[in-house]
Amino acid sequence: MRYIIFDLETQNIFQEVGSSDPTALDISVVTAYDSYTDIYTTVTIDELSVLWPIFEHADALVGYNSNHFDIPILNKYYPGDLTTIKSIDLLEEIKKSLGRRLRLDSVAKATVGAKKSADGLQAVRWWREGKIAEIKKYCEQDVKVTKKVFDYAMANGHVKFKDGSRKRDIPLDTSTWGIKEESAMTHSLLF
C-alpha cells in the first residue's frame, strides 16, 4: 500500500478568523511523505500543485487530526475531493480506543521517544516574520514524528501514552489499515 503521511501549518488561527471551521484558515506550508518513493516533499501555499500528483497516487492518507483539520483545509485548495481517498487519522483512532484526545507530542514521546520541535502557534508567528525555512523544518519534523508513530502502530497494534508516571498502551485496530480500497476519486490533474 502506498501511504502519504502529511501535515500542514496555517497562516492564521481560529480566533483571528472568527470561526472554528478549519476551512476558514489559510495554509502556509504542507509536508507529505510518500511511502512508495521514501521522499518528503515540503511546499508553501504557492507550490501546492506539486503535491496533488503525490496525493492522487495515495492508497491512504495518514495524519494526526487529519480528518477534522488537515483534509478539510487542503480540500479548499485541491481541485478534486481528497475525502474520496482512504484516510487513517491517528488521533481519531486513539480517541476511539481511549475515549479522549491526546496530543501528538505526548503519544510520540511515550511510543517512540520522538518529539515535536515547536507548535502551530509558533508556526503562525514564523509565517508573519517571513521565517519560511523554520516552518518547513517544523512541518517536516511533525510528519517524521507522525510516520514513526504510524509505523509503530502498524507493527504493534497499539501506541503508548504516559498516564501519570507510567506508560500505558492504547490498543488500535490496525487490521484494515493495510487493505487497499477502491477509490471513487476522479483524478483532476494530467501527469
Instruction: Write out pLDDT tens, residues 40-81.
Output: 999 999 999 999 999 999 999 999 999 999 999 999 999 999
Q: Tell me what percent of the residues of the chain surpass a pLDDT of 70.
A: 94
pLDDT at 191 over 70: no
Q: Is the residue at 88 inside a domain?
A: yes
Strand 60-63 to 39-44 pairing = unpaired
**Parent domain of 11:** 3-171
What is the CB-side half-sphere exposure of residue 159 using CA atoms within 13 A? 36
Q: Is the residue at 184 inside a domain?
A: no
Q: Is the residue at 35 inside a domain?
A: yes
**pTM of this structure:** 0.92
Q: Give the CATH number for residue 107.
A: 3.30.420.10
pLDDT at 93 over 70: yes
Average pLDDT, the chain: 91
Counted domains in the chain? 1
Mean pLDDT, range 131-145, rounded to an integer = 95
Strand 86-89 to 60-63 pairing = parallel
